[in-house]
Structure 1
Amino acid sequence: MVNKILLTFVAADVFFLVGGVLLLVGSLVMSAKINGTKTLENAPQVLLLNVFPMRAAIVNSVFVFITFVLSLPGIIFSDNRLWLKAHGYMVVVCAIFTLVVGLRVWFDTLKTRANLSSLWGQQTPQVQSLLQQRFDCCGYLNSTFPPFQPDSVCTTPLVAAQKQGCVGPFSSFANVFLDFIFTADFGIVAIDAILLLCTAVVLKDRKERERYRLIDAKNGFLGI
Protein backbone atom coordinates (compact mmCIF):
# COMPACT_ATOMS: atom_id res chain seq x y z
CA MET A 1 0.00 0.00 0.00
CA VAL A 2 1.30 3.44 -0.98
CA ASN A 3 2.26 5.60 2.00
CA LYS A 4 0.64 8.95 1.12
CA ILE A 5 2.33 10.68 4.05
CA LEU A 6 5.76 9.68 2.76
CA LEU A 7 4.84 10.67 -0.81
CA THR A 8 3.80 14.13 0.38
CA PHE A 9 7.11 14.44 2.20
CA VAL A 10 9.03 13.40 -0.93
CA ALA A 11 7.15 15.98 -3.02
CA ALA A 12 7.96 18.73 -0.50
CA ASP A 13 11.58 17.55 -0.41
CA VAL A 14 11.83 17.83 -4.20
CA PHE A 15 10.43 21.38 -4.11
CA PHE A 16 12.98 22.14 -1.40
CA LEU A 17 15.77 20.88 -3.67
CA VAL A 18 14.44 22.96 -6.57
CA GLY A 19 14.63 26.02 -4.31
CA GLY A 20 18.29 25.24 -3.61
CA VAL A 21 19.00 24.83 -7.33
CA LEU A 22 17.36 28.19 -8.04
CA LEU A 23 19.48 29.82 -5.34
CA LEU A 24 22.69 28.40 -6.80
CA VAL A 25 21.86 29.06 -10.46
CA GLY A 26 20.56 32.54 -9.67
CA SER A 27 23.71 33.40 -7.72
CA LEU A 28 26.00 32.11 -10.49
CA VAL A 29 24.07 34.01 -13.16
CA MET A 30 24.21 37.17 -11.04
CA SER A 31 27.95 36.73 -10.50
CA ALA A 32 28.46 36.34 -14.26
CA LYS A 33 26.51 39.55 -14.88
CA ILE A 34 28.56 41.45 -12.30
CA ASN A 35 31.83 40.34 -13.90
CA GLY A 36 30.55 40.98 -17.42
CA THR A 37 30.45 44.15 -19.48
CA LYS A 38 27.96 46.79 -18.43
CA THR A 39 25.51 47.72 -21.17
CA LEU A 40 22.57 50.07 -21.49
CA GLU A 41 20.18 47.24 -20.64
CA ASN A 42 21.94 45.57 -17.74
CA ALA A 43 23.76 48.46 -16.01
CA PRO A 44 21.05 49.08 -13.35
CA GLN A 45 20.75 45.37 -12.47
CA VAL A 46 24.53 44.95 -12.27
CA LEU A 47 24.89 47.87 -9.86
CA LEU A 48 22.13 46.54 -7.62
CA LEU A 49 23.52 43.00 -7.70
CA ASN A 50 26.83 44.31 -6.38
CA VAL A 51 25.18 44.91 -3.00
CA PHE A 52 23.40 41.53 -2.92
CA PRO A 53 24.95 38.96 -0.49
CA MET A 54 25.95 36.58 -3.29
CA ARG A 55 28.30 34.38 -1.27
CA ALA A 56 25.69 33.91 1.42
CA ALA A 57 23.19 32.73 -1.20
CA ILE A 58 25.70 30.21 -2.59
CA VAL A 59 26.49 28.89 0.91
CA ASN A 60 22.76 28.64 1.54
CA SER A 61 22.29 26.53 -1.60
CA VAL A 62 25.09 24.19 -0.43
CA PHE A 63 23.27 23.74 2.89
CA VAL A 64 20.11 22.89 0.94
CA PHE A 65 21.90 20.16 -1.04
CA ILE A 66 23.40 18.68 2.14
CA THR A 67 19.97 18.72 3.77
CA PHE A 68 18.42 16.97 0.78
CA VAL A 69 21.08 14.25 0.89
CA LEU A 70 20.33 13.71 4.59
CA SER A 71 16.71 13.02 3.71
CA LEU A 72 17.51 10.17 1.30
CA PRO A 73 18.36 7.50 3.96
CA GLY A 74 15.18 8.51 5.81
CA ILE A 75 13.17 7.91 2.64
CA ILE A 76 14.89 4.64 1.72
CA PHE A 77 14.75 3.11 5.22
CA SER A 78 11.08 3.36 6.06
CA ASP A 79 11.55 2.58 9.77
CA ASN A 80 14.38 5.02 10.36
CA ARG A 81 13.81 8.27 12.27
CA LEU A 82 17.36 9.37 13.06
CA TRP A 83 18.14 10.60 9.55
CA LEU A 84 14.82 12.41 9.33
CA LYS A 85 15.50 14.19 12.62
CA ALA A 86 18.89 15.34 11.33
CA HIS A 87 17.18 16.40 8.11
CA GLY A 88 14.60 18.38 10.08
CA TYR A 89 17.25 20.28 12.04
CA MET A 90 19.04 21.16 8.81
CA VAL A 91 15.79 22.39 7.26
CA VAL A 92 15.49 24.81 10.19
CA VAL A 93 19.06 26.02 9.57
CA CYS A 94 18.34 26.52 5.86
CA ALA A 95 15.09 28.36 6.57
CA ILE A 96 16.77 30.74 9.03
CA PHE A 97 19.67 31.32 6.63
CA THR A 98 17.34 32.12 3.71
CA LEU A 99 15.17 34.31 5.92
CA VAL A 100 18.19 36.36 7.03
CA VAL A 101 19.27 36.88 3.40
CA GLY A 102 15.73 37.92 2.45
CA LEU A 103 15.49 40.30 5.41
CA ARG A 104 18.84 41.83 4.47
CA VAL A 105 17.54 42.62 0.96
CA TRP A 106 14.22 43.84 2.34
CA PHE A 107 15.99 46.14 4.78
CA ASP A 108 17.99 47.61 1.90
CA THR A 109 14.72 48.57 0.18
CA LEU A 110 13.84 50.74 3.19
CA LYS A 111 16.83 53.00 2.50
CA THR A 112 16.99 52.73 -1.28
CA ARG A 113 17.57 56.41 -2.01
CA ALA A 114 20.43 56.73 0.47
CA ASN A 115 22.09 53.56 -0.84
CA LEU A 116 21.70 54.58 -4.47
CA SER A 117 23.23 57.99 -3.79
CA SER A 118 26.43 56.33 -2.54
CA LEU A 119 26.29 53.77 -5.34
CA TRP A 120 25.92 56.47 -7.98
CA GLY A 121 28.88 58.41 -6.62
CA GLN A 122 31.10 55.32 -6.85
CA GLN A 123 30.49 54.84 -10.58
CA THR A 124 32.62 56.04 -13.47
CA PRO A 125 31.25 58.74 -15.80
CA GLN A 126 30.67 56.03 -18.42
CA VAL A 127 28.40 54.01 -16.11
CA GLN A 128 26.58 57.15 -14.96
CA SER A 129 25.99 57.95 -18.62
CA LEU A 130 24.50 54.48 -19.19
CA LEU A 131 22.07 55.09 -16.34
CA GLN A 132 21.14 58.51 -17.70
CA GLN A 133 20.42 57.01 -21.09
CA ARG A 134 18.49 54.08 -19.62
CA PHE A 135 16.19 56.25 -17.48
CA ASP A 136 16.18 59.39 -19.68
CA CYS A 137 17.44 61.57 -16.82
CA CYS A 138 20.37 63.81 -16.00
CA GLY A 139 22.46 63.65 -12.82
CA TYR A 140 21.38 61.91 -9.65
CA LEU A 141 19.30 64.53 -7.87
CA ASN A 142 19.37 66.93 -10.84
CA SER A 143 21.61 67.89 -13.74
CA THR A 144 24.03 69.75 -11.46
CA PHE A 145 24.42 67.03 -8.83
CA PRO A 146 26.74 65.43 -9.42
CA PRO A 147 28.45 67.74 -11.94
CA PHE A 148 26.99 67.71 -15.45
CA GLN A 149 27.86 64.57 -17.42
CA PRO A 150 27.15 65.08 -21.15
CA ASP A 151 25.95 62.19 -23.31
CA SER A 152 23.34 61.44 -25.97
CA VAL A 153 20.51 62.25 -23.51
CA CYS A 154 22.04 65.17 -21.64
CA THR A 155 23.64 66.87 -24.63
CA THR A 156 24.00 70.35 -23.12
CA PRO A 157 23.55 71.92 -19.67
CA LEU A 158 20.35 73.58 -20.92
CA VAL A 159 18.85 70.30 -22.16
CA ALA A 160 19.96 68.53 -18.98
CA ALA A 161 18.32 71.16 -16.76
CA GLN A 162 14.95 70.40 -18.35
CA LYS A 163 15.15 66.70 -17.49
CA GLN A 164 14.48 65.03 -14.15
CA GLY A 165 17.21 63.65 -11.94
CA CYS A 166 17.81 59.90 -12.01
CA VAL A 167 16.97 59.39 -8.33
CA GLY A 168 13.24 58.90 -9.02
CA PRO A 169 13.28 56.37 -11.89
CA PHE A 170 16.38 54.58 -10.57
CA SER A 171 14.82 54.20 -7.09
CA SER A 172 11.57 52.88 -8.57
CA PHE A 173 13.49 50.35 -10.67
CA ALA A 174 15.60 49.32 -7.67
CA ASN A 175 12.57 48.80 -5.44
CA VAL A 176 10.83 46.55 -8.00
CA PHE A 177 14.04 44.59 -8.63
CA LEU A 178 14.87 44.11 -4.95
CA ASP A 179 11.23 43.34 -4.09
CA PHE A 180 11.33 40.46 -6.56
CA ILE A 181 14.52 39.09 -4.98
CA PHE A 182 13.41 39.17 -1.34
CA THR A 183 9.92 37.90 -2.25
CA ALA A 184 11.56 34.91 -3.96
CA ASP A 185 13.67 34.35 -0.83
CA PHE A 186 10.59 34.43 1.40
CA GLY A 187 8.88 32.00 -0.99
CA ILE A 188 11.74 29.56 -0.46
CA VAL A 189 11.36 30.01 3.31
CA ALA A 190 7.68 29.06 2.93
CA ILE A 191 8.72 25.85 1.13
CA ASP A 192 11.16 25.15 3.98
CA ALA A 193 8.34 25.57 6.51
CA ILE A 194 6.10 23.17 4.56
CA LEU A 195 8.90 20.60 4.37
CA LEU A 196 9.52 20.94 8.11
CA LEU A 197 5.84 20.22 8.80
CA CYS A 198 5.95 17.22 6.47
CA THR A 199 9.06 15.94 8.25
CA ALA A 200 7.32 16.25 11.61
CA VAL A 201 4.28 14.35 10.28
CA VAL A 202 6.44 11.52 8.90
CA LEU A 203 8.32 11.27 12.20
CA LYS A 204 5.05 11.10 14.12
CA ASP A 205 3.68 8.48 11.72
CA ARG A 206 6.78 6.30 12.10
CA LYS A 207 6.71 6.68 15.86
CA GLU A 208 3.08 5.51 15.89
CA ARG A 209 3.88 2.57 13.61
CA GLU A 210 6.77 1.57 15.87
CA ARG A 211 4.52 1.77 18.92
CA TYR A 212 1.93 -0.51 17.28
CA ARG A 213 4.65 -2.97 16.25
CA LEU A 214 5.83 -3.17 19.85
CA ILE A 215 2.27 -3.74 21.05
CA ASP A 216 1.77 -6.49 18.45
CA ALA A 217 5.07 -8.09 19.39
CA LYS A 218 4.10 -8.02 23.06
CA ASN A 219 0.76 -9.65 22.28
CA GLY A 220 2.32 -12.23 19.97
CA PHE A 221 0.78 -10.87 16.74
CA LEU A 222 4.01 -9.77 15.07
CA GLY A 223 4.11 -12.64 12.63
CA ILE A 224 0.46 -12.36 11.58
Structure 2
Amino acid sequence: MARDNILLTYVLVDLLFVVTGGLLLIFALTTQSEVTQTPTANNVARNLLLNMCPLSAAIGNAVVVFITFLISVPAMVMPMTRGWLKFHGYMTVVCALFTMIIGLDIWFDTLKTRKNLSDIWNIQPATTQSLLQQTLNCCGYANSTSPPFVVDSTCPNALVAAAQVGCVTPFSKYANNFLDVVFTGAFGIVGVDVALILATAMLLKDRKEKERYRFIDEKSGQGAF
Protein backbone atom coordinates (compact mmCIF):
# COMPACT_ATOMS: atom_id res chain seq x y z
CA MET A 1 0.00 0.00 0.00
CA ALA A 2 2.83 2.40 0.89
CA ARG A 3 4.42 1.79 -2.48
CA ASP A 4 1.12 2.41 -4.23
CA ASN A 5 0.95 5.71 -2.37
CA ILE A 6 4.40 6.63 -3.69
CA LEU A 7 3.23 6.12 -7.27
CA LEU A 8 -0.03 7.97 -6.59
CA THR A 9 1.87 10.91 -5.11
CA TYR A 10 4.13 10.99 -8.16
CA VAL A 11 1.16 10.97 -10.54
CA LEU A 12 -0.67 13.74 -8.66
CA VAL A 13 2.39 16.00 -8.50
CA ASP A 14 3.09 15.27 -12.17
CA LEU A 15 -0.46 16.36 -13.07
CA LEU A 16 0.02 19.54 -11.03
CA PHE A 17 3.30 20.05 -12.90
CA VAL A 18 1.62 19.95 -16.33
CA VAL A 19 -1.08 22.33 -15.04
CA THR A 20 1.66 24.88 -14.27
CA GLY A 21 2.82 24.51 -17.88
CA GLY A 22 -0.71 25.29 -19.04
CA LEU A 23 -0.84 28.34 -16.79
CA LEU A 24 2.47 29.56 -18.19
CA LEU A 25 1.26 29.18 -21.75
CA ILE A 26 -2.10 30.84 -21.06
CA PHE A 27 -0.40 33.74 -19.27
CA ALA A 28 2.10 34.30 -22.08
CA LEU A 29 -0.40 34.05 -24.95
CA THR A 30 -3.01 36.18 -23.16
CA THR A 31 -0.40 38.78 -22.32
CA GLN A 32 0.88 38.92 -25.90
CA SER A 33 -2.68 39.53 -27.03
CA GLU A 34 -3.35 42.21 -24.42
CA VAL A 35 -0.21 44.25 -25.01
CA THR A 36 -1.17 44.74 -28.66
CA GLN A 37 -4.52 46.30 -27.73
CA THR A 38 -5.11 50.03 -27.91
CA PRO A 39 -3.92 51.51 -24.60
CA THR A 40 -6.52 52.93 -22.24
CA ALA A 41 -6.34 54.46 -18.77
CA ASN A 42 -7.32 51.07 -17.35
CA ASN A 43 -4.65 48.95 -19.03
CA VAL A 44 -1.79 51.23 -20.07
CA ALA A 45 0.44 50.81 -16.99
CA ARG A 46 -0.17 47.07 -16.70
CA ASN A 47 0.46 46.39 -20.38
CA LEU A 48 3.69 48.38 -20.44
CA LEU A 49 4.95 46.28 -17.54
CA LEU A 50 3.74 43.01 -19.05
CA ASN A 51 5.62 43.90 -22.22
CA MET A 52 8.81 43.88 -20.12
CA CYS A 53 8.28 40.22 -19.16
CA PRO A 54 10.11 37.50 -21.15
CA LEU A 55 6.96 36.18 -22.84
CA SER A 56 8.71 34.18 -25.57
CA ALA A 57 10.81 32.46 -22.91
CA ALA A 58 7.64 31.65 -20.95
CA ILE A 59 6.10 30.02 -24.04
CA GLY A 60 9.30 28.03 -24.59
CA ASN A 61 9.25 27.01 -20.93
CA ALA A 62 5.65 25.80 -21.25
CA VAL A 63 6.57 23.70 -24.30
CA VAL A 64 9.43 22.06 -22.37
CA VAL A 65 7.00 21.34 -19.50
CA PHE A 66 4.59 19.58 -21.87
CA ILE A 67 7.40 17.53 -23.43
CA THR A 68 8.61 16.59 -19.95
CA PHE A 69 5.11 15.48 -18.98
CA LEU A 70 4.88 13.27 -22.08
CA ILE A 71 8.17 11.64 -21.06
CA SER A 72 6.59 10.77 -17.73
CA VAL A 73 3.76 8.76 -19.36
CA PRO A 74 5.92 5.65 -20.09
CA ALA A 75 7.33 5.94 -16.57
CA MET A 76 3.78 5.73 -15.17
CA VAL A 77 2.40 2.94 -17.36
CA MET A 78 5.54 0.76 -17.16
CA PRO A 79 5.73 -0.06 -13.43
CA MET A 80 9.27 -1.45 -13.43
CA THR A 81 11.02 0.96 -15.77
CA ARG A 82 13.59 3.34 -14.32
CA GLY A 83 15.18 4.71 -17.49
CA TRP A 84 12.18 6.83 -18.48
CA LEU A 85 11.77 7.89 -14.87
CA LYS A 86 15.38 9.09 -14.67
CA PHE A 87 15.04 10.94 -17.97
CA HIS A 88 11.86 12.57 -16.69
CA GLY A 89 13.66 13.63 -13.51
CA TYR A 90 16.47 15.26 -15.49
CA MET A 91 13.97 17.10 -17.69
CA THR A 92 12.11 18.32 -14.61
CA VAL A 93 15.37 19.82 -13.33
CA VAL A 94 15.73 21.61 -16.68
CA CYS A 95 12.19 22.98 -16.33
CA ALA A 96 12.88 24.17 -12.78
CA LEU A 97 16.07 25.96 -13.86
CA PHE A 98 14.29 27.49 -16.88
CA THR A 99 11.46 28.85 -14.73
CA MET A 100 13.87 30.07 -12.04
CA ILE A 101 15.88 32.01 -14.63
CA ILE A 102 12.67 33.70 -15.84
CA GLY A 103 11.70 34.57 -12.27
CA LEU A 104 15.17 35.90 -11.47
CA ASP A 105 15.17 37.98 -14.65
CA ILE A 106 11.92 39.66 -13.58
CA TRP A 107 13.22 40.04 -10.02
CA PHE A 108 16.40 41.74 -11.24
CA ASP A 109 14.21 44.16 -13.20
CA THR A 110 12.57 45.24 -9.94
CA LEU A 111 16.02 46.22 -8.63
CA LYS A 112 16.40 48.80 -11.40
CA THR A 113 12.78 49.85 -11.71
CA ARG A 114 13.35 53.59 -12.01
CA LYS A 115 15.88 53.22 -14.83
CA ASN A 116 13.66 50.78 -16.71
CA LEU A 117 10.58 52.95 -16.31
CA SER A 118 12.49 56.02 -17.43
CA ASP A 119 13.46 54.21 -20.64
CA ILE A 120 9.87 53.08 -21.13
CA TRP A 121 8.46 56.56 -20.51
CA ASN A 122 10.83 58.25 -22.93
CA ILE A 123 9.87 56.08 -25.89
CA GLN A 124 6.10 56.45 -25.39
CA PRO A 125 4.07 58.81 -27.56
CA ALA A 126 2.41 61.79 -25.90
CA THR A 127 -0.97 60.02 -25.93
CA THR A 128 0.39 57.14 -23.84
CA GLN A 129 2.19 59.50 -21.45
CA SER A 130 -1.09 61.36 -21.01
CA LEU A 131 -2.89 58.09 -20.18
CA LEU A 132 -0.23 57.32 -17.57
CA GLN A 133 -0.64 60.79 -16.07
CA GLN A 134 -4.39 60.26 -15.81
CA THR A 135 -4.03 56.74 -14.41
CA LEU A 136 -1.38 57.63 -11.83
CA ASN A 137 -2.59 61.18 -11.13
CA CYS A 138 0.80 62.76 -11.84
CA CYS A 139 2.47 65.19 -14.25
CA GLY A 140 5.70 64.57 -16.15
CA TYR A 141 8.11 61.79 -15.25
CA ALA A 142 10.48 63.07 -12.57
CA ASN A 143 8.37 66.23 -12.18
CA SER A 144 6.24 68.49 -14.33
CA THR A 145 9.25 69.87 -16.21
CA SER A 146 11.61 66.88 -16.44
CA PRO A 147 10.58 65.85 -19.02
CA PRO A 148 7.77 68.30 -19.65
CA PHE A 149 4.27 67.13 -18.81
CA VAL A 150 1.63 66.43 -21.45
CA VAL A 151 -1.35 68.76 -21.33
CA ASP A 152 -4.50 66.81 -20.46
CA SER A 153 -7.35 66.78 -17.95
CA THR A 154 -4.99 65.86 -15.09
CA CYS A 155 -2.34 68.42 -16.03
CA PRO A 156 -4.24 71.25 -17.81
CA ASN A 157 -1.57 73.91 -17.25
CA ALA A 158 1.86 74.49 -15.72
CA LEU A 159 0.49 75.75 -12.40
CA VAL A 160 -1.63 72.65 -11.79
CA ALA A 161 1.12 70.37 -13.07
CA ALA A 162 3.70 71.89 -10.72
CA ALA A 163 1.47 70.99 -7.75
CA GLN A 164 1.34 67.34 -8.79
CA VAL A 165 4.00 64.71 -8.14
CA GLY A 166 6.08 63.33 -10.99
CA CYS A 167 4.95 59.97 -12.35
CA VAL A 168 8.16 58.17 -11.38
CA THR A 169 7.09 57.58 -7.75
CA PRO A 170 3.57 56.15 -8.30
CA PHE A 171 4.69 54.31 -11.44
CA SER A 172 7.61 52.68 -9.59
CA LYS A 173 5.36 51.64 -6.71
CA TYR A 174 2.81 50.16 -9.09
CA ALA A 175 5.53 48.39 -11.10
CA ASN A 176 7.19 46.84 -8.04
CA ASN A 177 3.88 45.57 -6.64
CA PHE A 178 2.87 44.17 -10.02
CA LEU A 179 6.19 42.50 -10.85
CA ASP A 180 6.43 41.08 -7.31
CA VAL A 181 3.29 39.07 -8.04
CA VAL A 182 4.67 37.87 -11.39
CA PHE A 183 8.05 36.63 -10.15
CA THR A 184 6.49 35.16 -6.99
CA GLY A 185 4.24 33.12 -9.28
CA ALA A 186 7.31 31.94 -11.21
CA PHE A 187 9.04 30.86 -7.99
CA GLY A 188 5.84 29.08 -6.93
CA ILE A 189 6.03 27.03 -10.13
CA VAL A 190 9.65 26.18 -9.27
CA GLY A 191 8.32 24.87 -5.94
CA VAL A 192 6.05 22.46 -7.84
CA ASP A 193 9.03 21.39 -9.95
CA VAL A 194 11.06 20.66 -6.82
CA ALA A 195 8.18 18.63 -5.37
CA LEU A 196 8.07 16.57 -8.58
CA ILE A 197 11.83 16.01 -8.45
CA LEU A 198 11.48 14.68 -4.90
CA ALA A 199 8.52 12.48 -5.87
CA THR A 200 10.54 11.13 -8.80
CA ALA A 201 13.49 10.34 -6.53
CA MET A 202 11.19 8.49 -4.11
CA LEU A 203 9.65 6.45 -6.93
CA LEU A 204 13.09 5.65 -8.34
CA LYS A 205 14.24 4.39 -4.96
CA ASP A 206 11.09 2.31 -4.60
CA ARG A 207 11.52 0.71 -8.02
CA LYS A 208 15.19 0.06 -7.36
CA GLU A 209 14.27 -1.83 -4.19
CA LYS A 210 11.61 -3.81 -6.05
CA GLU A 211 14.13 -4.71 -8.72
CA ARG A 212 16.65 -5.82 -6.09
CA TYR A 213 14.09 -8.04 -4.35
CA ARG A 214 13.01 -9.50 -7.69
CA PHE A 215 16.65 -10.28 -8.51
CA ILE A 216 17.08 -11.99 -5.12
CA ASP A 217 13.91 -14.01 -5.69
CA GLU A 218 15.13 -15.09 -9.12
CA LYS A 219 18.48 -16.20 -7.71
CA SER A 220 16.77 -18.21 -5.00
CA GLY A 221 14.53 -19.91 -7.57
CA GLN A 222 11.29 -18.30 -6.45
CA GLY A 223 10.87 -16.35 -9.67
CA ALA A 224 9.45 -19.38 -11.40
CA PHE A 225 6.36 -19.52 -9.17
The TM-score normalised by the length of structure 2 is 0.97
Q: Deviations over 1:169-221 (max 9, x none)?
A: 10000001100010000000111011001001101100100100111111122
Aligned counterpart, 1:13: 14
Which whole-Å CA distance do the structure 2 matches of 1:143 and 1:205 have between them?
67
Which whole-Å CA distance do the structure 1 matches of 2:22 and 2:57 have between them?
14
SS at match of 1:217: helix
Aligned counterpart, 1:73: 74
Q: Is the 8 A contact 2:28 2:58 kept in 1?
A: yes
Higher deviation after alignment, 78-87 or 61-70? 78-87
Aligned counterpart, 1:159: 160
Q: Which amino acid in 2 is paired with 1:98? A: T
Q: Confirm or deny that 1:187 pairs with 2:202.
A: no
Structure 2 residue runs without a partner (length 5+) = none
Shift of 1:145: 1.4
Which whole-Å CA distance do the structure 1 matches of 2:71 and 2:50 have between them?
32
Aligned counterpart, 1:39: 40
Structure 1 residue runs without a partner (length 5+) = none
Which whole-Å CA distance do the structure 1 matches of 2:168 and 2:25 have between them?
32
Shift of 1:121: 0.4
Aligned counterpart, 1:204: 205
Q: Deviations over 1:75-99 (max 9, x none)?
A: 0010111111110110011000000
Q: Confirm or deny that 1:138 pairs with 2:139.
A: yes
Q: Deviations over 1:77-125 (max 9, x none)?
A: 1011111111011001100000000000000000001110111001000
Q: Which amino acid in 2 is paired with 1:70? A: I
Counting only pairs closer than 5 Å after superposition, residues 69-108 of structure 1 correspond to structure 2 as 69-108=70-109
Which whole-Å CA distance do the structure 2 matches of 1:5 and 1:96 have between them?
25
Which whole-Å CA distance do the structure 2 matches of 1:140 and 1:172 have between them?
14
CA RMSD of aligned residues (A): 1.0
Number of paired residues? 224
Which whole-Å CA distance do the structure 2 matches of 1:179 and 1:106 have between them?
7
Which whole-Å CA distance do the structure 2 matches of 1:61 and 1:118 have between them?
29
Q: Confirm or deny that 1:174 pairs with 2:175.
A: yes
Percent identical residues: 54
Q: Is the 8 A contact 2:141 2:149 kept in 1?
A: no
The TM-score normalised by the length of structure 1 is 0.98
Q: Is the 8 A contact 2:74 2:84 kept in 1?
A: yes
Q: Which amino acid in 1 is paired with 2:90? A: Y
